[in-house]
Homo-oligomer: A and B are copies of this chain.
């Protein structure tokens, strides 16, 4: 590993908020610093029954992160008797990190089955050449070898997140794997600790769980994700492989690997692939999905079922598949939004909804153009109703041919549900600015943490939603010295 740089900017990291200026050169009254809002309420607690059956997890400190005791290595293993289905959506970045390559090969060789995964934070093992690949394979194989024997070719998937271009402290990691495999458990605390082992610049661990009815069973789904910066994922199925958003969704439903991949593609395209913090698509973005079929309880009757749930396929069980796919999308959306809420330095959560577009792809491209505009994002931070910047970003959406007709476009602010007056505030109608915008009301709307910007293209029936955050002083502080 290259040594750390000298510390020209170390002091910056210690500053939680540089948000608003504390002094002015003109000697005017200081504006008090405005800290990012507290995010503690996004950490939910669950009883052990909330988590899917047949999984065990553990995590530890392997000295990858510098902070003593910080969780930075974890594993999740399926303990079910039957093979566990596995699917993934992985980064489309040309520079795929070594763990992305290894996970791709393992999904192939295992024909869509896996034992579970190992994850580390603090080092991305990306752009690390041949040694990087050897290290990722060592993490996988070493874990698999310490689990009970399983089918040939079915291995442990790998995920890494952190600094790019540095080698993993692989001996630390391999030295900790025996501890991890010995201390596997299924407690609520163990799940939350695993979520902590995913974290880099995240300010809170991201863990969600829910239960739903699938066929005659009650099934459970749990998900962990991480990410705060380098967030603008574009992930597809492993062939061709393409990631630093990391996430895992584990369910005890029984889903055939092909159906699992198909449902995950659908869900990721409408959730993780529609969030942005800074427009930087990472080398490591990975969403894994595991389905071990361990769900035992028959819905409505509350009794445990002795028979195994049969694996759902797309053609064989279209109704159940449809239910699963939609539950997965909705769950993935919840997890994806947590990443935006914890965006580096974020003080705002903004939904960009583009409606009445000629196609979903056009709606999506327009929404992403606005969601990634530095000028729009700084205006949101400044709570400045500078809607001209929204229009500007709509107008430079890279579309060829470009079907947008300026005289058909309308823009509206939809206030947060936290406000008593939920009347939408129209800013532009068919390309003409509203003559008497209530700027005081605009300010009230923008002062809330949540905002929805609705862009009506006036030409079609399709709609897309993208979630973004604002661009703050704190973002610059965090990223001016990430490696320090």
Chain A residues with CB under 8 Å of chain B are 2-6, 8-9, 11-12, 14-16, 18, 20-26, 28-31, 92-96, 124, 126-130, 163-166, 229-230, 232, 234, 278-283, 372-375, 378-379, 381-389, 391-397, 402, 404, 406, 428, 431-433, 436-437, 439-440, 442-443, 447, 471-473, 475-477, 479-484
Contact = CB atoms under 8 A, between A and B. Distances in A.
A477 to B, nearest CB: 7
B18 A473 contact: yes
A433 B128 contact: yes
A432 B379 contact: no
A439 B5 contact: yes
A95 B8 contact: no
Nearest to A284: B392
Nearest to A482: B386
Given A127-B431, A374-B278, A433-B165, A94 B18 contact: no
Given A21-B18, A164-B388, A94 B473 contact: no
Closest 6 CB pairs of A and B: A164-B388, A382-B480, A95-B395, A378-B479, A165-B388, A129-B432
Given A5-B443, A21-B15, A476 B471 contact: yes
Nearest to A232: B396
A170 to B, nearest CB: 15
Given A6-B439, A11-B31, 10 more contacts: A5-B442, A11-B20, A11-B28, A14-B24, A16-B25, A22-B23, A96-B406, A279-B279, A280-B375, A473-B476
A391 B480 CA distance: 17
B164 A440 contact: no
B164 A432 contact: no
Max count, chain B CB within 10 A of own CB: residue among A18, A229, A383 = A18
Contacts of A373: 279-280
A406 B94 CA distance: 7
B5 A385 contact: yes
Contacts of A28: 11, 14
B437 A21 contact: no
20 contacts: A3-B439, A14-B28, A93-B395, A95-B394, A126-B391, A129-B431, A130-B432, A164-B386, A164-B389, A165-B386, A165-B387, A165-B433, A229-B375, A280-B389, A283-B395, A374-B479, A375-B479, A378-B475, A475-B476, A476-B476
Secondary structure type dominating chain A contacts: loop
A156 to B, nearest CB: 25
A399 B281 CA distance: 14
Contact of A383 (B8, B372, B396, B472): B8
A25 B15 contact: yes
B25 A12 contact: no
A477 B21 contact: yes
Contacts of A384: 5, 9, 480-484
A68 B252 CA distance: 70
A25 to B, nearest CB: 5
Given A12-B21, A12-B31, A477 B473 contact: yes
A447 B6 CA distance: 12
Given A31-B12, A431-B127, A477-B473, A482 B379 contact: yes
B374 A280 contact: yes
Given A9-B31, A439-B5, A396 B280 contact: yes
A219 B153 CA distance: 75
